[in-house]
Amino acid sequence: MLKDCFKGGVVLKKMGFILFILSWFIGTGAHASVSDVIKNNEKKEMKSADATVFVFTYRLIREVEKVFQPIIASPQKTMQSLCGFPVVNARQLVYAYAVFYDDIILQDIMAFNKLLNIDHKAVVGPLTAQILQHLKNHRKLMEKARILDLSGDVVKALLMDESFKIDILLSKVGQEISSSVFDTFHEGDMRNLNQVSAKIKNGLKKNCVPHPSTEKLF
């Protein structure tokens, strides 16, 4: 009788050990599954943030282009209209301000990117990195135009070429963007677009002096 009880106890211990091992495996698997879900959600959120910043940057670049095009085409006329008197070196002043404004919108883009990213980290996604390169190219182009005092027609041709490259980029990533942009990203988040024209013109007006120095602007 005692022997049978002893055998029964051994069996129960073995079963208990087996159940413990099974529970441990199940628990580990569940934990791994939760971790995988969290990581997957983080990846999706980062992808959405990247696509959203891309759209913001694209639209901001396009709005800035739209405002600057007529200004670059007629810098003297624009500056005289804004200042109320003729401005010497108006063309170079406009080019210099375009360079300055590229720096401003880059700061806005990076702030927006940081706001959307997980833990508000300044991590630039692959889509954003590509379009930011075009913004940097635009800045270099306008700096070159200022230094060489290029004509409006030459600058217009160079800008059209860079604009075409941005459209090519958009066509390549369009499908990925349309499926990833945040659902909460509405026109309210794009309010800066409506202020671009006023900001650019106000910035130029601050340099309304008859003989401005384009080396020390803004």
**In this structure, is residue 210 part of a structural domain?**
no
**In this structure, is residue 88 part of a structural domain?**
yes
Q: pLDDT by residue (tens digit) across 115-167? A: 888 777 778 999 999 999 999 999 999 999 999 999 999 999 999 999 999 99
- The CA-based angle 87-218-56, given to 5 degrees, is 110
Rounded mean pLDDT of 107-119?
Answer: 87
**In this structure, is residue 14 part of a structural domain?**
no
**In this structure, is residue 20 part of a structural domain?**
no
Q: What are phi and psi of 68, to 5 degrees?
A: -75, -25
Which pLDDT does position 6 carry in this prediction? 42
Q: pLDDT by residue (tens digit) across 84-101? A: 999 989 999 999 999 999
**In this structure, is residue 136 part of a structural domain?**
yes
Q: pLDDT by residue (tens digit) across 60-78? A: 999 999 999 999 999 999 9
**In this structure, is residue 179 part of a structural domain?**
yes
Q: What are phi and psi of 52, to 5 degrees?
A: -65, -45
Structural domain of 82: 49-205
**In this structure, is residue 42 part of a structural domain?**
no
How many domains would you assign to the chain?
1
